[in-house]
Amino acid sequence: MVQDPNFSSTTELSVEQRGPVLWLTITREERRNAMSHGVLARMTQAINEAQGQRDVRAIVVTGAGSKAFCAGADLQAAQAFTTDYSEPHGHLAQLLRAARASYVPLIARVNGACMAGGMGLMSMCDMAVAARHAIFGLPEVKVGVFPAQVLSVLQHLIPRRLLSEMCLSGEPITSAQALEAGLVNYVDDDVDAKLQWLLDRLLDKSPAAIRRGLYTLKSVQSMAFEESVAFTESQIALFTLTEDAREGQQAFQDKRKPNWAGR
């Protein structure tokens, strides 16, 4: 494990580069890894910083321990949802924006209960692997509020009927139900083994293709068909101009493993 000088931890968020993977771990186990404003601000900063580090190939978001991934906002805090009502942008919203703009793949390691705002952290990631004992819920209605910001990243992941039930009843679903609904990619008794398996399937691929590809994937998400086709027909030409594209095609012809330059 190497601590890159570009990434620094706080008492509430561990920021650690392990080889090509940046790990962001909420270290508030005694509070079920509830999100403080400090956690949100530092996580946003770390994701933004990672965009300029070519040696970071993936980002893992998780919580300490095995009981909770993230329980959402810390309702014991004096200002759980905002620190300054005069500011137009809140900390969670800024984090969701940073995740949406990230061209480094984000993977949620859901090691336990994923609740309320924690569902936002999980949903903002490109992929998710969950422990079998994990549960998922939007209990905000039980305390008189609603998972408003979470909807921005969650609404397109699961069927509308299930989303409505979760929001309006506040009752959680199991990891098996989350898998069936497409909320997570995999559920496993050994979440770390499955996470590593998934990372290995990414890290041997072209860094340039993943970086530009994730940009394309996110860009077309909200486009109408004709706009999407026009955008992607220009993007495919740019893909072919990269060193990785030339190397990948040459390696295929030579029947060997490619040596990616990442450019």
- Cβ distance 205 to 150 under 8 Å? no
- Cβ distance 181 to 150 under 8 Å? no
Closest to 140 measured CA to CA, from 72, 80, 93 = 72
What number of other Cβ atoms are within 10 A of residue 155's Cβ? 12
Q: Which residues touch 157 (CB under 8 Å, ≥6 apart)?
A: 123, 182, 183
Q: What is the pLDDT of residues 175-197, one digit of tens each?
A: 999 999 999 999 999 999 999 99
- Cβ distance 40 to 62 under 8 Å? no
Q: State the pLDDT at residue 7.
A: 73
Q: Read off the pTM.
A: 0.91
> Binning pLDDT at 50, 70 and 90, where does residue 2 land?
very low
Closest to 138 measured CA to CA, from 234, 47, 73, 41 = 73
Q: State the pLDDT at residue 90.
A: 75
> Binning pLDDT at 50, 70 and 90, where does residue 8 land?
confident
- Mean pLDDT, rounded, for 72-93: 69
What number of other Cβ atoms are within 10 A of residue 123's Cβ? 23
- Mean pLDDT, rounded, for 137-164: 95
CA distance 119 to 125: 10
Which tokens go with 3? 């601590």
Q: Number of H helices and number of E strands within the chain?
A: 10, 10
CA distance 44 to 59: 12
